[in-house]
Structure 1
Amino acid sequence: MATINLAAAKTAKEDEFYTQMSDIERELQHYWPHFAGKVVLCNCDDPYESNFFKYFALNFNLLGLKKLICT
């Protein structure tokens, strides 16, 4: 299945793959207590395309983050 998806993306010239928001939410919910007072660095090409940036920006206060840095 993955090979078919990659082949189709190559044919369509779509070479950007992003982690889905649902996957980020499902995984990071287990680490919420660890984010309080922390600085998060998102190493991404474009913060406005990154679902990690969106997740941390939307949940900044809920997580109790000190700072969010995206490069």
Structure 2
Amino acid sequence: MTDNKGTPATRAKNKYNAANYDRLYPYVPKGRKAVYEAAAKATGHTLNEYIMIALDEKVERDTKTTEA
């Protein structure tokens, strides 16, 4: 059975995203999202970019700490 929800363009985008991206669903306390969005905007990034940069920096720091 095929899923015919949405327009063909939407289905194509969803198919591409499913093949090329993993999804994360972080939950944050009420009110923190606005803080994170403002911080991201102040740096000229989207919230998604800001989170990815923060995660990459944290992984890099942790990797250096465990290697030392």
Q: What's the TM-score, normalizing by structure 1? A: 0.27
| Larger RCO (alpha carbons 8 Å, 6+ apart) | 1
In our comparison, the structure showing a higher alpha carbon Rg is: 2
Task: Indicate the structure with greater helix content.
Answer: 2
Task: Indicate the structure with greater strand content.
Answer: 1
